[in-house]
Amino acid sequence: MEQPVRLKTDDAVAAAVSEALMLKDFFPEFNAEHLQKLFPHSGLFQYEPEAVVMRQGDLGRDIFIVYFGGVRVQQAFGSMAAELAALGPGTLLGEMAMLKDGARTATVVASMDSQIFRL
């Protein structure tokens, strides 16, 4: 699987992260510099169409925020699979694995060229 390309973050990305994490009232001056200082191991990544963002069953505690583009959420049930949702900018993904045991409950695939912030 090809790794996504890391992109530069700016104040617009910081604003999108702030909105998705509901930081506006708590931290109204949040900007790119704050983003880098608070989340130094996080970043914005470019995903090509059909690139897997996360795979059902994999362990992980990262949270993803769709900044640009879109993703499809798919879930397997034994030998069957279903597409659960098509999601766009501002969507927060991966929070269930963070809250539970760390296992991803669905597969998320980029449906188009997408920029996704991994936290």
71 touches 93 (CB < 8 A): yes
Q: How far is CA 23 from CA 15, 34, 62, 78, 116, in A?
A: 9, 12, 18, 39, 18
| Identity of the amino acid at 86 | A
Compute the distance between CA of residue 101 and CA of residue 90 in angstroms, rounded to an integer: 25
Strand order in the sheet with 52-54: 52-54, 107-110, 71-77, 80-87
pTM: 0.91
What is the end-to-end Cα distance of the chain in Å, rounded?
20
DSSP, res 92: E
* Residue 86: strand pairing partners: 72
**How much is the pLDDT for 87?**
97
57-78: buried (b, 16+ CB within 10 Å) or exposed (e) per residue? eeeeeebbbbbbbbbbbbeeee
- One-letter amino acid at 49 equals P
Size (the chain), residues? 119
pLDDT tier, 1 (very low <50, low <70, confident <90, very high otherwise): low
- Among the residue ranges 5-9, 42-46, 65-69, 98-102, the one predicted with the least confidence is 98-102
